[in-house]
Chain A
Amino acid sequence: MKFAVVVFPGSNCDVDMFHAIQDELGEEAVFVPHSEYDLSSFDAILLPGGFSYGDYLRSGAIARFAPIMKAVQEAADEGKPVLGVCNGFQILLESGLLPGAMKQNRDVKFMCRNVKLRVENNKTMFTNQYESGESIVIPIAHGDGNYECDDTTWEEMIKNNQIVFRYDGHNPNGSKDDIAGIMNKRGNVLGMMPHPERAVDSLLGSKDGIRLFQSILILWRENHVVTS
């Protein structure tokens, strides 16, 4: 399976993402610069964390107009898995691929620590290797992770099981309904603030993140069985 790791000016988790795919998952990863127009040769698209365009104006606000984002939109329309982590999540929100918006953390400071997450929906292409309601440990590292949306959007997401991860126990950033990760209605675009790519080896403190990437791979393999 071939994964694109999109690199914006200011991305800084792109190498971690590449490592998670290439070395831990054992699949092919390719860095694709923000100035490219085509992602058609890839099976999945990863938008890594960082501070694209210095977080100027709002996190993700400028990156959403990068040439590559048209190709990300096309990949999403085709039903390919699109995962945005941290700044990648913020870019997905700004581009309208996911509903809602991100505000500054409740305590107005950058937070970098391990947090507990609850897997709220394990019937997705991103979470099928987790148990429903399972508690996992994944690190966060963000200043703007305070998720916000209007109540109509929120009710709609609950109805469609679009809330994939919630903070378990302590809510670190004040996000609405303890939301840590959401997906689109179709279920192929996931945005999350915590960093699964930083939790792929027990040397890093947790390997709970690797199953997210395995979920994508396992489902993809099931759908691409050679039947000759």
Chain B
Amino acid sequence: MYKIKVYVTLKQGVLDPQGKAVEKALHTMDYDQVQDVRVGKYMELIMEKSENVGSKVEEMCQRLLANPVIEDYRYEMEEVVGQ
């Protein structure tokens, strides 16, 4: 089995309203060092072992998990022991 960790964030250059709100809050808390905040999504997928897992994950990100018009994604794969 594979455990896939998918991270989705708004593209650089696309204004992130939620990230901006969090950034402002951190500034009011006197964390002046904070330069930028981007809020994203984290998903975990458990997948059966097969040869083309990577290309399947890529496809799922493109078609559903992220919206490539405004979002970037990346993922990590690790092998786990199935139940």
Contact = CB atoms under 8 A, between A and B. Distances in A.
Interface string B1-45: 000000000100011111001000000000000000000010000
B64 A101 contact: no
B69 A103 contact: no
Main secondary structure of the interface of A (DSSP, over half): loop
A31 B70 CA distance: 33
Interface stretch (A35-43, A68-76, A104-112): A104-112
Nearest to B68: A101
Given A57-B64, A65-B64, A100 B17 contact: no
Interface in A191-212: none
Q: Which bracket fits the contact residues of B? A: 10 to 19
Contacts of B67: 58, 61, 94, 101
B17 A107 contact: yes
A58 B41 CA distance: 11
Interface in A82-132: 93-94, 100-101, 103-108
B21 A108 contact: yes
A174 interface: yes
Given A61-B64, A103-B10, A108 B18 contact: yes
Contact of A174 (B17, B18, B69): B17
Contacts of A93: 69
Nearest to A99: B69
Contacts of A65: 64
Interface string A146-168: 10111000000000000000000
Given A57-B64, A61-B64, A65-B64, A101 B17 contact: no
Given A57-B64, A61-B64, A103-B10, A148 B17 contact: no
A75 B39 CA distance: 37
Contact of A149 (B16, B17, B65, B69): B69
A-B CB proximity, top 9 nearest: A101-B69, A101-B70, A104-B17, A108-B21, A108-B17, A101-B67, A106-B17, A148-B70, A108-B18
Interface of A: 57-58, 61-62, 65, 93-94, 100-101, 103-108, 146, 148-150, 174
Interface of B: 10, 14-18, 21, 41, 64-65, 67, 69-70
